[in-house]
Amino acid sequence: MLAALPCETSASTWGEEVYFSLPVAAQLEPDAQQVVDPGSVCFWVDGAALALPFGPTPVSKSSECRLVTKCNVLGKIAGDPGKLKSVRDGDAIRVEAV
């Protein structure tokens, strides 16, 4: 995934999740998850996108962070994932390694 960085794309939102496509192909890992903690950094294999859930999505049961399908969990957002509420569909996103 790091080889694809830096890249620029645009954001999409789905409930309380921000996601955006990345020029990466991956396989679903055996420990992939559909229900994750808020602020998890996930790779949605079927959509070739990074998914950043911070609250309920349209398929959530109650207040859980439920992704549309199982995704590879890559890490966790440092800081308050609730700040993602300000992201709107079409916002420019730049992804780079730090």
**Number of domains the chain is built from:** 1
Report DSSP state, residue 28: P
Side-chain-facing half-sphere of 93: CA atoms under 13 Å: 22
Distance CA 57, CA 13 (A): 9
Write the pLDDT tens digit of every residue in 23-44.
989 999 999 999 999 999 999 9
Q: Are 78 and 39 within 8 A, CB to CB? A: no
pTM value > 0.85: yes
Q: What is the CATH number of the domain that holds 81?
A: 2.40.100.20
Among 15, 9, 1, 26, CA closest to 66: 15
pLDDT digits (tens, 9 = 90+) for 47-56: 999 999 999 9
What domain range includes position 49?
Answer: 2-95
